[in-house]
Amino acid sequence: AALLAACAPRVEPAGPVIATPALLPEQDTLLAADGARLKLRHRAPPEGVAPRAVILALHGFNDHSGNFLIDGFDRLAEGGVVTYAYDQRGFGASPGRTLWPGAESMAADAAEALRLLRARHPDLPLYLMGESMGAAVAVLAATGQPLPVDGILLMAPAFWSRAEVGPVATGAFWLLAHTLPALAFPPSAGNITASDNLDALRRFGRDPLTIKDTRIDAAWGLFGLMDRATQSLAGCCAAPTLVLQGAQDRVVPPEVTRAALSRMRPEARLARYPDGFHLLLRDGVKEQVADDILAWIGNPRAPLPSGADRVGEAWLNRPAPALIAAAPAP
């Protein structure tokens, strides 16, 4: 039994309720119901710029909120957006670093943070934004319960179901996760470029809070989250939703995203950037992306200034090529 337990994927979920959740920006802390202190960061508009909206931003896999908020968020702040972001459990400076916290705990943290932000900023529109893994967490948080949000932004969303990956690759992944769960592999193992912004990639590599070597069981946890988010799309996102995608994304290939989008409510809009990669608010197109977000916040039905919505609509209306299943790169 001990041997079997040692080979099981390790999950570090939230504990029992022992505290009243609180937003403590003066302490750089989001206090969760189980007493966990999640590292919180806050970006406000510059002096003289009136706040016009609030965004809760959820970072991607192996990233953290401090690194996520560099680059494109400056332009959002100049446009009057107040951004809050926290290190999700298992990442950055939050508890359980490198260990998978479980999809339910991550979604519950996001939902609680939104309720706290709504109470803190009752007169400003509130938006939920997620990048990659963060987008999958956002979908789960927005499924099955009403969220106090005016809109949802899903950037390079990690939507990838087990059915699309196929039983052979899924089975091989399961075997690794249940025999060598603590085995870690470097990000270069997939030989995939996440951005055309070399400075951002170098910064990720130097940052002591980003995770460089991924445990197999954490990657398996991410895979389960992606599958659950994909399966939940039909019941998600009652609020206006904008999906942002880079045509050059090799972390979550565009055709995988395309298959997932067919599950979403028809009102959801797609902004597709021909020169965008996976880290859209850090890529070379980051200013276009930020300007589109600001325009969409102003009017979620209006055309985007970059024309990425027209590109996205045209792409979705083209016949879809056959999707070749392949194991996802975390």
Structural domain spans, the chain: 22-317
Burial of 186 (0-12, 13-18, 19+ CB in 10 A): exposed
Residue 36: DSSP 8-state: -
What was the pLDDT predicted at 1?
Answer: 45
Longest Cα–Cα distance in the chain: 63
The pair of structure tokens assigned to 306 is 């970059």
pTM value?
A: 0.94
What was the pLDDT predicted at 65?
Answer: 98
What was the pLDDT predicted at 42?
Answer: 95
Which CATH fold topology does 22-317 show? Answer: Rossmann fold (3.40.50)
CA atoms within 13 A on the CB side of 114: 27
What was the pLDDT predicted at 4?
Answer: 46
Q: Where would I find the H helices in the chain?
A: 2-7, 65-68, 72-78, 103-120, 133-141, 162-165, 167-179, 198-206, 216-232, 254-261, 286-298, 308-317
- C-alpha 136/C-alpha 105 separation (Å) is 13
Mean pLDDT by runs of 10 across the 330 residues of the chain is 64 96 96 98 96 98 96 95 98 97 98 98 98 98 91 96 90 94 78 91 96 96 96 90 96 87 90 98 97 98 97 89 49
- C-alpha 53/C-alpha 329 separation (Å) is 34
User: Any idea of the CA torsion for 280, 281, 286, 287, to the nearest 10 degrees?
Assistant: 140
What was the pLDDT predicted at 49?
Answer: 97
**29 DSSP β-pair partners:** 24, 39
SS3 of 212-260: the string is CCEEHHHHHHHHHHHHHHHHHHHHECCCCEEEEEECCCCCCCHHHHHHH
Residue 87: DSSP 8-state: P
What was the pLDDT predicted at 324?
Answer: 45
